[in-house]
Amino acid sequence: MLTYLIQRFGQAVLTVAAMATLVFLGVYAIADPIDVLAAPDATPDERAQISRRLGLDQPLWMQFATFVWRALHGDLGRSFVYNEPAFTVILQRLPATLELAFTALFIAIALGLPLGLWAGLRAEKATDKAIMGGSILAFSLPNFWQGLMMVLIFSVTLGWLPAGGRGETVRVLGLDLGFLTLDGLRHLILPAVNLALFKLAVVIRLARAGTREAMLQDYVRFARAKGLRPARIVGVHVLKNILLPVVTVIGLEFGSMIAFAVVTETVFAWPGIGKLLIDSINRLDRPVIVAYLMLTVCLFVLINFVIDLIYAALDPRVRLAETDA
Amino acid sequence: MTPAATLPEEPVPYRADPVWRAHARAFFRSPAAGLGLVILVAVALVAALAPWITPQDPYDLASLDVMDGTQPPGSRSFAGLTYWLGTDAQGRDMLSAIVYGLRVSLVVSLSATLIAASVGSCIGVLAANAGGRLDAVLMRLVDLQLSFPAILIALVLLAAFGRGIDKVVIALVAVQWAYYARAIRAQALVERRREYMEAARALALPRTSLIFRHLLPNCLAPVIVVATMQVAHAIALEATLSFLGVGVPVTEPSLGLLIKNGYDYLLSGKYWISTFPGLALVAVIVAINLVGDRLRDVLNPRLSA
């Protein structure tokens, strides 16, 4: 197990290093930040001065070394727009995004599991076809379009819910949370459902496939023969066995939820890190772009690492196969 | 007794039904897939013939009149033109704008899919054929890339490159090649053990001919299936990127950019500027999915379960 852990950890570090190089080359080397920073009528002297101050006159490998050294110390540069450390700017926006993502995750599981179970138990009947048809739509239609239609229906036409923003927030343990106030909750519903739709479809499909498979297994037949009530068979025996794949995929998908929050936050003007990224790209605020990307990359590598470990702990075949190879 | 019956039975030359005809017949057994194909052909024709069939050239500034701005569907312009789907803020006929937008969306996603399929297929077939370390490295790269969401990779690239049709195509190719590489490698690993490959190897054919003239053509069925699905993904992703404002430039708006432009007006109840391009987008994506699902069932029964 230890060998496996060290191997995986090495791979994770390597991935972060590779992505850091790519992000650095992409954002710092392809375009010239001086064009953005210096006034259009700056003299060559002034441009050289700015270039010296930012260390842009150094050779590329030297700049990269400085970038890595500072990044290791948690310094990803100062935002051009906010004139604060880029990392701080992101941390300020992070609670909003996490709140959105966790609420969406909750919706996806709380609705997806029962719907998937239901569809699986009534396979090929009208209920199943309706649920599966809905999930295909949630799957294939672009997320931003679904969000737009939700705004059109629930905000513009019916006027039930606000179309954007975060509403009133309360400060709890140093975090601004919106779901504790009625106004915040009203603002949260539409974006959270929008972000949840795709994962909801995934959970429904997994739960349905798992249920159909589990219902044919011997242990369900035995449970039936033992005279257990159907509610107990489904609620305990079947549910337990379909939870594992659902939990795995949800864990994997949590990272992609943070990434897809970019779209939802733009549609609903939600003040999280996704909207910050788009604003920063439009304003050429490079340090913030880099900080966001590095944060997301680390998050993804961490999630993959943890999932690999859980898999290895649960299934000895995984770690044996890997250490042999 | 008729004379024909006395004739000795002539051997009827055996003629195999061409494979594609059997596939086509199987394909049209599903009415939904047939409808999807009809929609796609119609959309492609409309997009290709855009300059000749639209009521207005939406990018000829001389034909626009700001006085006609944000008119609801069905209203008439001073020149007597009826705006069936309304107009946007610049007084542009939405129907014409959608047809031109469809054009941009289709060109971007089709060219990206074509390039990604070629690049991915070559890499996949090479990896399967080389085996060993090269295969391991390439497939590890595929795994790594597929563990990141497509939109994140596209955003990284477009943040670095800036806006532009060519840049969106590059980003889509970078996102999608891995799917093809993985699909075709799996197929190639099976195909290279077949007799015809054995025979080709026994003939000592050059390696490139082995790979590209014998192995690759026999691995194309999964590529076709993956490609139809990926076109739909490419259209949706391009629309999303353009909606976020990092995709195609404002001078050549795709459906996604049209939706973005109408978004501000949506909140004040002028629904048509965003809704109709969106409906066009949805129709195309659903049609492709219908066709793709059917193609998968017909071409690769193993995958459909």
**Vertex B244, ends B223 and A35: CA angle to 5°?**
110
Task: Look at the block and give the residue holding tokens 């965003």.
Answer: B274
- Is 70 exceeded by the pLDDT of residue B204? yes
- Interface contact flag, A140 B286, Cβ < 8 Å: yes
Does B115 have pLDDT greater than 90? yes
Mutate to test the interface with A, among B133, B143, B146, B152 (most CBs of A within 10 A): B152
Averaged pLDDT score across all residues of chain B = 79
Residue A114 lies in a domain: yes
pLDDT in tens, A270-303: 888 888 888 888 777 777 888 888 888 888 888 8
A215 interface with B at CB cutoff 8 Å:
no
B267 vs A156, A266, A282: nearest CB:
A156
**Enclosing domain of residue B154:** 28-53+92-304
- Residue ranges of alpha helices (H) inside chain A are 2-24, 33-37, 44-53, 60-72, 86-121, 126-140, 143-150, 182-215, 218-225, 230-232, 239-267, 273-283, 286-314, 316-324
Tell me if chain A has a CB within 8 Å of the CB of B259: yes
- The reply to whether A283 falls in a domain is no
Helix and strand element counts for chain B (H, E): 13, 2
Q: How far is CA B224 from CA B26, B73, B107, B187, in A?
A: 16, 40, 18, 12
CB contacts under 8 A, B 97-126 vs A, are none
Nearest-neighbour CA in chain B from A106: distance (Å): 20
Residue B131 lies in a domain: yes
Average confidence (pLDDT) over B18-22: 72
Q: In chain B, what residues touch A201 (CB-CB under 8 Å)?
A: none
Residue in the block written with tokens 């944060």:
A295
Lowest-confidence segment of A154-168, B9-23, B193-207, B239-253 by average pLDDT:
B9-23
CB–CB contact A148 B274 (8 Å) = yes
Residue B85, in any domain of the structure: no
Average pLDDT over residues A151-157: 81
In this structure, chain A runs to a length of 325
Question: How confident is the model over A142-170, as a mean pLDDT?
Answer: 79
Asked whether residue A32 carries a pLDDT value surpassing 70, the answer given is no
Which residues, 6 or more positions from A103, have their beta carbon under 8 angstroms from its beta carbon?
Answer: A179, A188, A192, A196
The band of B17, judged by pLDDT with boundaries at 50, 70 and 90, is low
Mean pLDDT of chain A: 78
**Looking at beta carbons, which residues of chain B come within 8 Å of A26?**
156-157, 159-160
Q: Quick check: is A59 in a domain?
A: no
Domain count for chain B, please give it: 1
| Partners of residue A15 in chain B, C-beta under 8 Å | 144
Nearest CA in chain B to A30: B160
Lowest mean pLDDT among A13-27, A103-117, B16-30, B212-226: B16-30
Instruction: Test A26 with B159 for CB contact under 8 angstroms.
Output: yes
pLDDT at A63 over 60: yes
- Over 70: is that where the pLDDT of B149 sits? yes
In chain B, what residues touch A36 (CB-CB under 8 Å)?
none
pLDDT of residue B145: 80
- Nearest-by-Cβ selection for A156 from B151, B236, B269: B269
If one compares A245 and A206, the residue with the highest pLDDT of the two is A206
pLDDT 10s digits, A207-247: 888 887 777 777 878 877 887 777 777 777 777 777 777 77
Task: Mark yes or no for CB contact A145/B259 under 8 Å.
Answer: yes
SS3 of residue B58 by DSSP: coil
B159: which chain A residues are within 8 Å (Cβ-Cβ)?
A: 26-27, 281, 289, 293
Say if B3 falls within a structural domain: no
How many angstroms away from the CA of B276 is the closest CA of chain A?
A: 11
CATH number of the domain bearing residue A238: 1.10.3720.10
B260 vs B269, residue with greater confidence:
B260
Q: Residue B204 maps to which CATH number?
A: 1.10.3720.10
Q: Cβ(B233)–Cβ(B150) under 8 Å?
A: yes
CB contact under 8 A, B159 and A27: yes
Contacts of B156 in chain A (CB under 8 A): 22-23, 26, 293
Q: Phi and psi at residue B145, in whole multiples of 5°? A: -65, -40
pLDDT of residue A254: 79
Give chain A's domain count: 1
Note whether residue B86 is domain-resident.
Answer: no
Rounded CA-CA distance A245/A243 in Å is 6
Write the pLDDT tens digit of every residue in B291-302.
Answer: 887 887 777 655
The rounded distance, in Å, linking the Cα atoms of A34 and B134 is 41
| Distance (Å, whole) CA B118 – CA A279 | 35
Residue B225 lies in a domain: yes
Residue A237 lies in a domain: yes
Coil vs helix vs strand at A83: coil
* CA of B147 vs chain A CAs: smallest distance (Å): 8
Whether A30 and B160 lie within 8 Å, measured CB to CB: yes
User: Is A45 domain-assigned?
Assistant: no
Residue B305's pLDDT is what? 36
Residue B238 contacts residue B101 (beta carbons within 8 Å)? no
Which tokens is A178 given? 């919106």
The residue among A31, A30, A16, A33 whose CA lies nearest residue A68 is A16
Residues 132-161 (B) with a CB less than 8 A from some CB of A: 144, 147-149, 151-152, 155-161
Q: Which residue, B172, B197, B192, B161, is CA-closest to B120?
A: B172
* pTM reported for the whole predicted model: 0.79
* Residue A7 sits at the chain B interface (C-beta within 8 Å): no
- Residue with the larger pLDDT of the pair A88 and A42: A88
Burial A118-138 (b: 16+ CB within 10 A, else e): bbbbbeeeeebeebbebbeeb
In this structure, is residue B82 part of a structural domain?
no
> Lowest mean pLDDT: which of A307-311, B8-12, B98-102, B138-142?
B8-12
A286 to chain B, closest Cα gap in Å = 9
Q: How far is CA B234 from CA A131, B102, B106, B114, B127, in A?
A: 26, 13, 9, 11, 25
- The SS3 of residue B83 is strand
Question: pLDDT value at position B14?
Answer: 60
All residues of chain B having their beta carbon less than 8 Å from the beta carbon of residue A297 are 148
- CB distance B243 to B259 below 8 Å: yes
Rounded alpha-carbon distances, angstroms, from residue B246 to A27, A36, A276, B164, B233: 15, 18, 14, 8, 17
Distance CA A304, CA A307 (A): 5
d(CA B68, CA A130): 43
- The answer to whether residue A321 is domain-embedded is no
Q: 3-state SS of A138-196?
A: HHHCCHHHHHHHHHHHHHHHCCCCCCCCCCCCEEECCEEECCCCHHHHHHHHHHHHHHH
- Of A15, A136, A281, nearest to B159 by CB-CB distance is A281
pLDDT digits (tens, 9 = 90+) for B154-192: 888 887 777 788 888 988 998 888 888 888 888 888 888
Task: Provide, as residue numbers in chain A, all residues whose Cβ is less than 8 Å from the Cβ of B247.
Answer: none
Note down the domain range covering A180. Answer: 88-267+301-314
Q: Residue A213 falls within a domain, yes or no?
A: yes
**Per-residue model confidence (pLDDT) at position A325:** 42
In B, minimum Cα distance to A303 occurs at: B147
The answer to whether the beta carbons of residues B116 and B176 sit under 8 Å apart is yes
Asked, for residue A163, whether it belongs to a domain, the answer is yes
Q: What is the pLDDT of residue B112?
A: 92
The answer to whether the Cβ–Cβ distance between A256 and B266 falls below 8 Å is no
CB B121 within 8 Å of CB B180: yes
User: Cβ distance A58 to A69 under 8 Å?
Assistant: no
- Following CA atoms B70, B235, B290, A130 in sequence, which dihedral angle do they give, to the nearest 10 degrees? -70
- Compare B3 and A150 and report the one with higher pLDDT: A150
